[in-house]
Each structure stands twice: as structure tokens, then as C-alpha cells.
Structure 1
Amino acid sequence: MTALRVIVDQVLAPVPGGIGRYAEELTRALIETAPDDVTVEGIVSASTDAQYEELERRIPGLARLYKSPLARRELAAAWQHGFTLLPGKGMVHATSVLAPLYRHERGTGNQTAVTVHDVVPWTNPETLTPRGVSWHKAMVARAYKYADAVVVPTHAVADELAEFYDFGERVRVIGGAVSARLALPIDAEARAIELDLPPRYLLAVGTLEPRKGLEPLIRSLALPQTGDIPLLIVGPAGWGDVDVAALAASAGLAEGRVRTLGRLSDAEVAVALSRASAFVFPSLAEGFGLPVLEAMSLGAPVIHSDSPAVLEVAADAGVVVARDDAAGYPERLADAIARVLDDEELAARLRLQGIDRSHAFSWRASAEKVWQLHADL
């Protein structure tokens, strides 16, 4: 029986982020939509037995889990330099640029598709670690030489990537979607009390790192048009020493005006999104912007940056804020926030448009596109 081997390593990363969510949800959908004569297998770096069990619990139905003897960092370095190939032949689908890429004849049964989620290493390198920038650029260069196909989440990323590498007809646009597990629980009221959600608040979701635009968002709250509405931030700490409390203090905000909730369960995120007065996504650079769709699916009015990929995903279902002129970005965010908070009719319209927009994406549709991609190869 033929197997599609999917690299799911990011699911177990210390900070899985959007790519971890993408890898998990897409692989689950690939298992659900697999042709009768094809199985889905997973590939992961050396981990603990508990982590292997957790992975198989989160992605049920894997026919096999190939466990590399190399830990994540060593495996990334090995694949960067073309070492440590996978045993056997067949189809490999990499849910990021972490992939075993090597010279091979196309059309011989071996095929590897790589996913490039964004071009941040080129356009906004200052928002990543130097090591991360170097590694990502090296892996995309290997993909240019050896990948049979390159998946990108949006046409915006396809256009941006073409400025650095012309993959031509090897590019396929396959986006993400909202997880079915991001749904309101039956004990939503109790969870809201447990999270200490105020009656009105702004919500932001994302890893705490420079490119997410949290600093200008926090500074926008110091401007009079935003009143005294609090900001809640959901997401794990990332790199870059983004100290939310220090940023809030520096902006002159009252203690407690900005509060971090850390990493929450899907049910808790759903509760927080459903009750937000507005969801703000000020990211400086994105490849897709899944939190925008998640917020829309739960009826939160969305305010977002004009990052090209986010514009594509949100369409006209959110209030757009231009990122140019960085010094003026906080004030433009403040104006947009005030506009949504002060106009109930606008907020109601955004809620309806957002829900409708979120329905345009599904993991099943994404998985079917992946199967078609490998069939075409």
C-alpha cells in the first residue's frame, strides 16, 4: 500500500505556533480524506515516549510514526546540509521548510513537497533570530534545487516568494482554516469567570514576539480615543524579550490595563474570542494570519494590519490599519479601535461578515488539494 509521509515535528515544538497548528490540523484532515489505497504516516524528531504518545493522541489514525534518532535541532542541521535521508521511497509532505531534500529524478516515485509559510526572513529579518533567518533561507534554497512542489498559504506569499526564488509551476496555494475544536464549551460562563474576563475588552492572540506588533498596539491604548478599555493577550512567550508589563508601564498605562493570559486551551480561546469587544491583529508580517479567521468564526469584530496575506485572508470582513509610517501606527490603531467600539452598527456588521468569511476555508478542502498535488506529481 502507498503511504504519504507527513513531517509533523512542529506539533511537538516547545512553541508550536501557527505552523504547529497547521501541521496538526492538516495531517488530521489528510487521514480523514486519504484515498482507499493510501495511508498517512508521520515523521518526527527524537522525542520522549510521552511526547510520541501525545502526538498519536492528537493525530489519531497515523499508520506509522517514523522516529528519527536525531533531536529536533540536530535533525534541522542535518537536513540543512543534505544529510540523513529517510529510509525507503515515496511521497513526503513537509508542513514547513523542515524537509529531507536531495537530488533525485522527478517522476520516479520519489516526491517531496515543502511548505513555505512566509518570507519574513527576507522582508522582516529583524523580527527573527539571526540563526532562524539563516536556517530558513538555507532550507528555501534547498527547496528551490530539489523540491518537487512548494506549498504556500496565500497568493500574497506566492508573489513575495517569487521575488527571491522563481519556483514557477511548482507553487501551489493551500491555506489553513479554523479547527473544529475551536468551539464554545457548554460551561462557557464558568470558564469566562475563571479567566476573569471583563465586560468589555480588546483581545490579541499570538506568540509574544516582535513581529506580532504588540508594542504599537499597547502604545495605542495610551491615546485618548481608546478610553480605558483593557487589552487581554493570549499566547505563549516567544523570542525577542517582549515584556508586556514593561511595555505597558513605558506607555504610561495603569497597572492591569494590559493582561497576558498565556497559552489557553481551544475551549478557553473560544470563550475569550466570543466575548471580545474587538479582536486586534496588528502583526507586521504574516503568511496567513489564522487568528484572524479564528476570531471571525466566533463573531469577534476584527481589526487587522495591512500585511498582504492578512488582507487576502480577511477580504473585506475587517477594519484595515496601514503599517507604513511606524511612528504613526499606534495612533492609526487607536483610531480603528475607537471606530469599532463607538459604532455598534459597524461592529454588528463586522461580526456577520467575519462569520461568513471564516466559512470560506476548511481543512478538508486543504487536505483534498494536498492529495491532488501529490497525484499530479
Structure 2
Amino acid sequence: MNVIYDISPIGSDPDRRAGLARVAESMAERLVDDLGPEQISFSATGSIWATLQTEEVLERRANWRSALPHVPWWIRRVHETNQTLSTVAGEKEGPVRMGGKLGTLLLTQVLRAVNVLRQPVDDDALQRANIYHSSYARIPRQVRRALPGRHILTVHDLTPLVLDSKYVPSGQVGVTRRIIDSVRVDDWVITVSESTRDDLCERRPIPQKRVFVVPNAASPDLFYPVDDDEQIRRVRRKYDLPDQSYLLTLHSMAPHKNIPRLIASFNRMVRQQRISDLSLVLAGGLGRSLDDVLADLDVEREDLENVHFTGFVADEDLAALYSGAEAFVFPSLYEGFGLPVLEAMQCGCPVIASNTSSIPEIAGDAAVLVDPYDEESLSASMWRIHTEPKKREKMSERGIEEAKQYSWSKRADMIFNVYDQISSLQ
């Protein structure tokens, strides 16, 4: 069997991969190991930028074969100019900034049109292939013509189409709608949860029998229980965290991650219970200024008195950061899978998470599930975890067991089974 796997989300910087990028990379590594490097090649059809970034990835991976097409010099120049104008628009003021924004808007449309019109997969690679599998980007027309009935799209979530528009950046609505609207009645689709499968089938005329549920996994090399107190202390010092207990969450500016409500709920608990020895740690982010964070989160400076931002967290520190927390709190309004919940459980960190979308499916009975819109319930759950060490211990043990259901080997086996089923029908 010869497979082309599209890794459009992977990005070019291996030190800053998370979410979809980490999933695409981990699955690609498993496919190379299990199929052999001669039977798998990689494309990136989502955008011109995705293709150029994947070129860099493949240059560093000697045994990863390319299914990328040649990108002409003039397209590269347009892309480089667009990147320069984007930087200008973000850093300058006045007419120069406006010019940068207008230039970026124009060139983005040019690059989008080029991406739609081009042949985004190498023809020779496509002729060798039996299966084409996209980890995110919609199936190109070139692939539909060359491999009718032998292409698969993985759908990770429908957040921008499910939630109210106030929780989703407008650009994401268009991107997600184009991907989901591309799904046809006779396509094959993989979703990462039953919840996402149901959401997809409600919006597209595709039978459930053509949609396979294949859950994600968390890397055992990055996410594992850390029992070494000195390692945990070293990581706390590295990210300038106070020497006291902390609750952990992810630092995301995406409105549906519900961070302002989490901060409000945490502060409510601190005030009501008169707590002086507990912090809320927001892990990740790109080291933006406090003023930018305040503006994005729509909170006041005094709201962050007991809130700490780590900035970017290196992969090798993630397990210790999770393991050192009293709990991981994840009140997201919608998740297609909820990978951070699995990462926390795999580290033995107790989880408080939303009772919505896919999260109950992934967490099972190992987490405390709450209404993400209910600040009082969220506060009460955090207080209970903070004051009941025996409950934390039981939740830690249960989370580790629950996480064992998910692994990259199991995910790969399920995907190979999908490939076999589709191939047998041709």
C-alpha cells in the first residue's frame, strides 16, 4: 500500500508545535515506521505557506519522502513580500501600518487563488499512491480525479460552526466552513471523537457508516507522571512561578477557551475562601506584553494578582509542569477532542473540565465535569480539589488509567484498518 499523507498543519518550527501540528507530526512518524519510508510520502495542500513550511520539514527528515510540487520563484516572492507586509502591519503605526494591512489583504487573496488553481500534489507521487489522507486540509480536485473513492479527510472539530460568532475569530469561520462544505456524500472521513462525528453528520449529507472515529493520542515521551520533586521545582524556577500550590490551564487567546471566565471564577474562590497560597498558572503563549493580554482577555490588571503567565513552555518541561499542579482546569466551550485533557491525565494531573462536546467522552469518569458558563460551579469545583488531597490522589490514579486507552499505536492500527476497508472496496 502506498499512501500520501497531507501534513498541512505541521509548521516549520519543531520547537513550537502543539495541537494539530503535534498530531500531524506524531501520526507521520508512526506511518513512516509502520509502512516503511518507501510507502509513504507527504504533501501540504492547505496553502502556499503550508507547502513552503513542509519543504523545510522534509529537508530535515531524511527518510520522509516528498509529494510536494515545485513552487515557482514568483510565488515564493509573493509569499515573502506578504510576510514582510504582515510584519510591517503588526509593528508600524499610521499610514505605513495601513499600507501593510492593505498589501497583506491583497497578496493573501492572490496566494489563496494560486493555491486553488494549482496542482498541489506531485503527479508522480499521486500516480504511485493507493490512498490519499489529509490530516486537516480539504481534498484537492487533483486528488479527487486521480484517486476517486480513495481519499480520506480527518475532521478535528467544528468549533467555528457550532459556537456563537462572538467566540470565534471571523477568519476561522471561513476556513472551517470551506473544509466542512467540501465533504461530499460519498467521501470517507475520519473524526477524532464521536461528538465531532455527530456534529459533522448534522451539517453534511454523509452517512455515519462513511465516518470513522479514530481518537487522538498524547506522546508518552512528553506527557508522563513526574515524581521527582527537584525536577518540578527546577521547572517552577525556570518559569518564575511562586513557591506555592497552583492550578494549571493553557494560555490561549481563543475566546472559546473561556479564559476570562476561568480567571473570574478563580478570583471568586480566592476572595470567598480567603486563600493566600494558591496561584492560577497560564502555560504557553508567545510572551506578549501584559497590556496586550489585558486587552485580549478583557480583564483588569488587578484581576491578575494571583495569575501567572509562563510564556512559551519547552516540550521537555511540560510533564513536570502538569505533574506539579494541583489540577488542570479546562473550561473550554467546545472541543473536537480536547487533547490537553488527555495530556494532563497522562501526567497524573487531576482534571476539571467542561461537560460539553467531546470532553466527557475523552475524560470518562476521571475528571470533574462542570458547566463552562457557570462561574459558581467552576469556583466550587476548584475549591473542592484544592482542599481534598485524597480526592486529588484518586483522580490522578484514575486519569492515568483512563489515558491508557489512547496511544499512537492504537490510533495507527485504527487508521490502517480504515485504509484496508477503503482499498478492499475498489
Which TM bucket (shorter chain)? 0.7 to 0.9
Q: State the match for 1:24 in structure 2.
A: 25
Following superposition, the deviation at residue 29 of structure 1 comes to 1.4
Pick from 176, 181, 196 the counterpart of residue 157 of structure 1: 196
Unaligned runs of 5+ in 2: 80-107
Pick from 160, 166, 171 the counterpart of residue 126 of structure 1: 166
Structure 2 residue matching 1:138: 3-state secondary structure? helix
**TM-score when normalising by structure 1:** 0.85
Once the two structures are superposed, residues 45-104 of structure 1 have per-residue CA deviations (whole angstroms, 9 ceiling, x without a partner) of: 656999557624886631335256267967983598575352233321111134324684
Distance 1:104 1:201, change over 3 A: closer
Please tell me whether residue 204 in structure 1 is matched to residue 243 in structure 2. no
Q: 1:296 & 1:58 partners in 2: Cα distance? A: 32
Structure 1 residue matching 2:333: 3-state secondary structure? coil
The one-letter amino acid of 1:84's match is Q
Following superposition, the deviation at residue 176 of structure 1 comes to 0.8
Following superposition, the deviation at residue 175 of structure 1 comes to 1.1
Structure 2 residue matching 1:181: 3-state secondary structure? coil
Q: 2:220 & 2:60 partners in 1: Cα distance? A: 13
Q: 1:48 & 1:137 partners in 2: Cα distance? A: 19
Following superposition, the deviation at residue 308 of structure 1 comes to 2.3
Q: 1:81 & 1:275 partners in 2: Cα distance? A: 47
The one-letter amino acid of 2:387's match is D
Distance 1:68 1:8, change over 3 A: farther
Bigger fraction of residues in helix: 2
Structure 2 residue matching 1:92: 3-state secondary structure? strand
Distance 1:134 1:345, change over 3 A: same
Please tell me whether residue 358 in structure 1 is matched to residue 403 in structure 2. yes
The RMSD of aligned alpha carbons is 3.4
Please tell me whether residue 279 in structure 1 is matched to residue 328 in structure 2. yes
The 5 Å alignment of 1:43-62 reads: 43-44=43-44, 55-56=57-58, 61-62=63-64
Structure 1 residue matching 2:282: 3-state secondary structure? strand
Distance 1:79 1:346, change over 3 A: farther
Q: 1:331 & 1:262 partners in 2: Cα distance? A: 28
Identity of counterpart residues, as a percentage? 25
Q: Report the number of matched residues.
A: 367
Distance 1:80 1:220, change over 3 A: farther
Please tell me whether residue 308 in structure 1 is matched to residue 352 in structure 2. no
For the 8 Å contact 1:209–1:237, the answer to whether it is kept is no
Following superposition, the deviation at residue 121 of structure 1 comes to 2.2
Please tell me whether residue 372 in structure 1 is matched to residue 422 in structure 2. no
Please tell me whether residue 192 in structure 1 is matched to residue 236 in structure 2. yes
The 5 Å alignment of 1:30-179 reads: 30-34=31-35, 39-44=39-44, 55-56=57-58, 61-64=63-66, 66=68, 69=71, 77=112, 81=116, 83-86=118-121, 87=123, 88-89=126-127, 90=129, 91-101=131-141, 104=144, 111-124=150-163, 125-144=165-184, 148-168=187-207, 169-179=209-219
Q: State the match for 2:370 in structure 1.
A: 321
Q: 1:25 & 1:192 partners in 2: Cα distance? A: 28
For the 8 Å contact 2:353–2:359, the answer to whether it is kept is yes
Once the two structures are superposed, residues 287-343 of structure 1 have per-residue CA deviations (whole angstroms, 9 ceiling, x without a partner) of: 0001111111111111001122011000010000113xx3xx222211110011111
**TM-score when normalising by structure 2:** 0.76
Larger Rg: 2
